[in-house]
Amino acid sequence: MADQVVLNHEGRTVSRLRGLDSLRGLAALAVVLFHYTTGYAEHLGFQATHPLFYAIHGHFGVELFFCISGFVILGTIERTANLRRFAIARFARIYPAYLISAVISLATAYLAHFRFLGLNAIAIALNATMLTGLTGTPPIDPSYWTLSYEVLFYLGAAVVWSLLGVRKRLEVPCLVWLACSLVGHLVPWVEEHRRLCVLLNIDYANLFVAGMMLYYLSQGSTSKLTIPTLWAAFVLTLFPPEYNGGHLSQTSYITMIALFWTAIWIVSKSAGKFLNIRPLVFLGEISYSLYLIHQIVGFAFMRILLRVGLDTNVSILLTISAVVGVAFGLRVLVEKPAERWIKSLDTRHRNRASEALPAAAYRSVGI
């Protein structure tokens, strides 16, 4: 769910990879369709008629999101001057939209009398951290379970990068991370401690790592460990996440992940021209807000439409249109303005600090 992708090539920057936006848009659409065709009936218990199809594998759009995040975040870290500026940029990018979406979703859930939240005041406060998976707290929106993995990945990748010194290569830390993931899959004790699994990202480490290795490959910035690290990440697809629930065979899951990685590779090598499809690019640009807002708000809207007698398929289409509109509004009114404002505060702070340096230097020598 990371945002901008600007790749470096021979010390220069090139344009945003619109094809990667399209992949993000496809991932968001898959998750939305999964919830509206499969998850809606599961959570709310009724549906007027059966939809034309059930997107039972749509939740695997999350895996694609994680792969893209690995690719994007490594490129972002490489271009960021220091850990502080990276943290501010990430906070500006993800937190304001999350906070507003969480408030909207919480209000909608209570007004619509949804009973699947199980939240008290402390749980609601802990949701503000975006780390409900780590705290063991129910998320305000069931979709928010992924945010703990994203935020912990951002934090871990940035801290490791800042500690590496002059020789900044992530293959060795990634191999250590993958080894921890493998131990987590093989040792039952680790699986029994869910918060430890979230902290170490046992289930999805290989997806983030693969994204980072694909970034190195796309830049022609490889070491002798890049390909072995990517292969190690691929081996860990032998351990699909628990929520697969038997819907996909192991072979099918491995094939799907391989297709995701191939698509990211093709997009990166085509300078973004592959899959540069405007409707999908648009969905990719609003995908973060769409992901945050689509489930509870969408379920409430769909229930209204079904209760007034609209056909299920018409209700799904109208609900998708409605949440896309809300997501676009969040993108325009919250995401981008808040990001610009927070970054401008940081810029003004740095400018004031740099202006104060000469005076401090003069005082230090008695001038």
3-state SS of the chain is: CCCCCCCEECCEECCCCHHHHHHHHHHHHHHHHHHHHHHHHHHHCCCCCCCCCCCCCHHHHHHHHHHHHHHHHHHHHHHCCCHHHHHHHHHHHHHHHHHHHHHHHHHHHHHCCCCCCCCCHHHHHHHCCCCHHHHCCCCCCHHHHHHHHHHHHHHHHHHHHHHCCCCCCCHHHHHHHHHHHHHHHHCHHHHCCHHHHHHHCCCCHHHHHHHHHHHHHHHCCCCCCHHHHHHHHHHHHHCCCHHHCCCCCHHHHHHHHHHHHHHHHHHHHCCCCCCCCHHHHHHHHCHHHHHHHHHHHHHHHHHHHHHCCCCHHHHHHHHHHHHHHHHHHHHHHHHHHHHHHHHHHHHHHHHHHHHHHHHHHHHHCCC
Predicted confidence (pLDDT) at residue 229 exceeds the cutoff of 90: yes
User: Can you tell me the mean pLDDT for 112-140?
Assistant: 87
More confident residue, 17 or 358: 17
Q: What percent of the chain has pLDDT over 70?
A: 87
Average pLDDT, the chain: 87
Predicted confidence (pLDDT) at residue 196 exceeds the cutoff of 70: yes
Report pLDDT for 352. 77
Predicted confidence (pLDDT) at residue 84 exceeds the cutoff of 50: yes
User: Can you tell me the mean pLDDT for 339-345?
Assistant: 91
Report pLDDT for 366. 40
Report pLDDT for 42. 63
Q: Indicate the range of 1-10, 61-70, 125-134 predicted with least confidence.
A: 1-10
pTM over 0.85, yes/no: yes
User: Can you tell me the mean pLDDT for 281-289?
Assistant: 96
Report pLDDT for 7. 45
Predicted confidence (pLDDT) at residue 361 exceeds the cutoff of 70: no
pLDDT tens string 13-61: 445 788 999 999 999 999 999 999 987 766 655 556 788 888 889 999 9
Q: What percent of the chain has pLDDT over 90?
A: 63
